[in-house]
């Protein structure tokens, strides 16, 4: 799995989002590929798919459903 430091994807400024640390140069980003799920990403990054909720929570400004991620979407990886 490749974690990249890229600029964040489109945000939804109109949506209320839970408080989270502001993005900075050390924010880690992952670009969703075909066939990815949050579980798979968590398994790759953390070694444990059950920790997917950490990724979901860190991306609630752009994700409303953990099962709905899009190819090319950039996700914060806490």
51 binds another protein per the rule CB under 8 A: yes
Q: Which is nearer to another protein, 32 or 77 (CB)?
A: 77
According to DSSP, the β-strands at 29-31 and 74-76 are antiparallel
**3 near another protein (CB under 8 A):** yes
Strand partners, 76: 29
Least gap, CB of 62 to another protein (angstroms): 18
Stretch of residues binding another protein (CB under 8 A), selected from 4-12, 30-38, 62-70 = 4-12
Q: Does 17 bind another protein (CB under 8 A)?
A: no
d(CA 37, CA 7): 21
């Amino acid at each position: 799995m490749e974690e990249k430091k890229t600029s964040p994807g489109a945000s939804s400024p109109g949506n209320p989002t839970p408080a989270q640390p502001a993005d900075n140069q050390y924010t880690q980003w992952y670009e969703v590929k075909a066939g990815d799920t949050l579980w798979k990403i968590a398994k790759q990054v953390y070694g444990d798919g059950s920790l997917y909720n950490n990724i979901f929570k860190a991306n609630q400004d752009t994700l409303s459903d953990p099962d709905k991620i899009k190819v090319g979407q950039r996700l914060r990886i806490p």
